[in-house]
Chains A and B, each alone.
Chain A
Amino acid sequence: MAHDYRNGQSAGTNSGGGGGAAQAAEPGKRTLTESAFASAGMAPVVQRKVDPPAAQPAASATDTRVRSGASWCAQYPTGTTIAELTDATFQANVQAFHDAMVAAATPANALNISISATYRPPQRAHLMHYSYNVHNGTTSPEDANAASAAAGININWDHGDLATSRAKAGEMVTTYVIAYAPALASRHTEGKAIDWTITWSGSLMIAKKGETTQLDCTGTGTTSANLHAVGASYGVHKLASDPPHWSTDGH
């Protein structure tokens, strides 16, 4: 990962000098760090951090912001484990629900649980949101800069001219593979949602939390109303319209 950024930088995708960001993480090393949001008065969260984005030319010698571009996209990765859910209660509930399914399954059930996403760092949601908006022209680079500064994210959306600014934001949209306008805040950014695909064969006999009567669950995690009821008893609620999405309240 890190070498990609460095290579991207040395490839000279952006001209001009500049200080670049003084981000000190070693390339390829994951560390635990306090969220940049802490400086904005928000609760710090534990997050994975990967390589810093390539140092893009800054607007001036004193401007340490890193210009927008695809190299930002590896920052603040979305979690893919239950342990990365930042809401402790929900994390415990999801783990208990998961364990109950595993315990209930027989070999014939061939239960399979595949997690796609859990916690999305708010910084990632912020970058996805504003890259989409700047690229589509619904937010100016200047307004995006103001929002990012308020959020404590050291990015500069302004490349000196609007066309380039939108194009660089478009690089991020492409790299993120954004199809719809991303939300700034969602249950995923609160650590209160999980996207997982749950499949099995035949009948999965499982009881609600605290009960002994087993419900006959057939179908999949998307379609089984009984499994949805079991999940709800653990505080893990299904959103009907989106097959993998479960959260604290079904939203």
Chain B
Amino acid sequence: MATSRLRTRQPARSRQLPRSLETPLRCAEGNRHTEGARRAAGRGRAWIALCAAWLAAACAGPASAPLHNAARNPEETIAPDQPLGWIGIAPRATPDPGDWMPAGPQAVIVPLPAEGIAAGASLSAIDTAGRVTRVTAGAPSKLPYGCDQHQLDVVALAGDRSAPGPVWLLPPAAPASWQPRPLAIDAPVVVAEANRRDTVGPLVLDLTRSDAAHGTFAIARGGRTIYTAPIAREAMEGAPVDPLDFRHPGIAIPVPAAAWSLSARGPILLVLRVASYEGTHLTPILVEADRARELTAMAAYLYSCAF
């Protein structure tokens, strides 16, 4: 059973957490403090009313937040063998020239090999807007994509359309405690030729160039760097040899494409989009409280055109 692989522990490092996600913890602590103050010290009703109003406002949180998250506030970790599902793409209804996203009538497509998706399987799909739909897998098929009449080999899933872009298809046996919600991908806070900083919910993504074709990608959470990976733009005959320029993300430069949090302060599934010379990689990274790992089995590649 998948839930047996899920470990839940109580939060212990609130100072590492971003301010926005500390709110539920503060609410619980605030409640205890208010009760004690009222009984032991007998402070005035006006102060209590003011505090209660503040607590009510602080604890309300986003309207879409599942209530049990605020109540349980689990800090979940994911076992290495925990199935996490698949990263699919909700196609655009019509092509948008120059854009990497495919177009078609399908609700979701998953580029092959898409291992483990059986024809007829019914899955939950969560898009970048947080909309959850049920989709049903069909047999492997082909989708026109890229130049020279190329066709992508995909598993197409039927159902209601999602917001175009990456979609997380949850595994059928996803633990009930998972309450995925999309995280906003904000505009970069730093954009320069040799470095770039993006923020995705509580995550800070840093790109740092080390030489013309190399650099480092780092993820920080709670002010601590928990993941680094090298960036390498390999040489392709005929390609420009200009230095990597993070102001204009291009070949080999990862940019955030989607992210979902499993629960408040819980793991985050981050999807990076990385252009290569001939196509687009979607690279999922599971970011937990103090570590992160690339999920190679969930990665997708969309071949577009011979270079």
Contact = CB atoms under 8 A, between A and B. Distances in A.
B236 A239 contact: yes
A206 interface: no
Contacts of B277: 180, 241-242, 245
Interface string A169-200: 01001101111111111111110010101010
A173 B237 CA distance: 22
B98 A178 contact: yes
A116 to B, nearest CB: 6
Contacts of B146: 177, 179
Contacts of A190: 237
Nearest to A245: B278
Interface centre among A116, A180, A243, A249 (most CB of B within 10 A): A180
A197 B277 CA distance: 16
B234 A177 contact: no
B275 A180 contact: yes
Contact of B150 (A116, A173, A188): A116
Interface residues of A, number: 42
A243 B303 contact: yes
Nearest to B97: A174
Contacts of A20: none
Interface in A70-118: 77-78, 80, 114, 116-117
Contact of B100 (A116, A179, A188, A243): A179
A245 B238 contact: no
A220 interface: yes
A244 B97 contact: no
A178 B147 contact: yes
A167 to B, nearest CB: 12
B84 to A, nearest CB: 19
A139 to B, nearest CB: 15
Interface residues of B, number: 37
Q: Which of A184, A195, A242, A249 has the most CB of B within 10 A?
A: A242
B290 to A, nearest CB: 29
A239 B146 CA distance: 20
Interface string B78-115: 00000000000000000101111000000000001100
Contacts of A245: 277-278, 306-307
Name which of B235, B237, B252, B280 has the most chain A CB atoms within 10 A of its CB.
B237
Nearest to A187: B237
Contacts of A220: 113
A144 to B, nearest CB: 18
A185 B278 contact: no
B305 A241 contact: no
B239 interface: yes
A88 B219 CA distance: 47
Contacts of A178: 97-98, 147, 305
A120 B100 contact: no
A247 B234 CA distance: 14
A251 interface: yes
Contacts of B159: none
B238 A173 contact: no
A186 B307 contact: yes
A149 interface: no
Contacts of A173: 97-98
Contact of A243 (B150, B279, B306, B307): B279
Nearest to A136: B98
B113 A199 contact: yes
Given A186-B237, A186-B238, A176 B147 contact: yes
B307 A241 contact: no
A146 interface: no
B97 A183 contact: no
Given A220-B113, A242-B279, A177 B305 contact: yes
A81 to B, nearest CB: 13
Nearest to A129: B238
B153 interface: yes
A195 B303 contact: yes
Of the listed residues B148, B304, B306, the one surrounded by the most CB atoms of chain A closer than 10 A to its CB is B306
Nearest to A193: B306
B304 to A, nearest CB: 5
Residue of B95, B235, B307 with most chain A CB atoms under a 10 A cut-off: B307
Interface string B1-28: 0000000000000000000000000000
B301 interface: yes
Nearest to A173: B97
Interface of A: 77-78, 80, 114, 116-117, 120, 128, 170, 173-174, 176-190, 193, 195, 197, 199, 220, 222, 239-245, 247, 249, 251
Which 5 pairs, one residue from A and one from B, show the smallest C-beta to C-beta distance? A183-B238, A117-B306, A186-B238, A251-B237, A78-B148
30 contacts: A78-B148, A116-B148, A116-B303, A116-B306, A117-B306, A173-B97, A173-B98, A174-B95, A177-B145, A177-B305, A179-B98, A180-B250, A180-B277, A182-B305, A183-B236, A183-B238, A183-B307, A186-B239, A186-B307, A187-B237, A188-B307, A189-B238, A195-B303, A195-B306, A199-B113, A242-B279, A242-B307, A243-B303, A245-B307, A251-B236
